[in-house]
Amino acid sequence: MAVLPIRITGDPVLHSPALPVETIDDGIRALVADMFETMDAAPGVGLAGPQVGVALRLFTFGWTDESDQLWRGVAINPELWITPAVPGHPDPDLESEGCLSFPGERFPLRRAERALLRATDLDGNRFEIEAEGWLARIFQHEFDHLEGTLYTDRLTDREQRIVAKICRKVGWGEPGVSWMPGVDDLEA
């Protein structure tokens, strides 16, 4: 297993819809193992194929909820259904999120409270998870990556101006910029 470089906002792979995984083979299994190692080293709670430069519809997730239940797995060719988000402004203390492709920053973002994830695991078995709260947020965030959307794309105009300023200041927003978890100390 190996830690993979994480692509930074501006890389074209992050802004294009990913392609379906056609076959779950040893190459996909090795990629998923590397993605878990990268996600854990970052540390993060999710990592999508495009974030490591692989334009395929898969993501890993790993998070322990308030009752100490570990939610860890891979979603291959996922489908996601969400409830409508409650209208209004997000609570910056409870609804902020960050992204390994825009490291060191967090912004408030309203998401749906519940989500239904249907996907395939590494053994080719279909599964379904009904998620709420933070797990639902993780699924929405990672699924967005597969659609070519970063969470920063969903922010208010004011916050997007801050994002653009940070990108200019630290030299992000260019194709090919990446960082290595456990090696690089990337703070905006």
Q: Phi/psi of residue 86, each to 5°? A: -70, 130
Distance between CA 110 and CA 96 in Å, rounded? Answer: 8
Catalytic residue among 37, 113, 142, 147: 142
Coil, strand, or helix at residue 97? strand
Measured CA angle at 117 (ends 112, 123), to 5 deg: 160
Q: Look-up: residue for tokens 């996600």?
A: 39
Contact 115, 80 (CB under 8 A): yes
Distance between CA 58 and CA 47 in Å, rounded? Answer: 9
Residue 142 is a catalytic residue: yes
Question: Across the strands, what pairs with 114?
Answer: 132
Question: Across the strands, what pairs with 47?
Answer: 60
Distance between CA 25 and CA 10 in Å, rounded? Answer: 30
Asked if omega into 108 is within 30° of 0 (cis), the reply is: no
Residues with a catalytic annotation lie at: 142
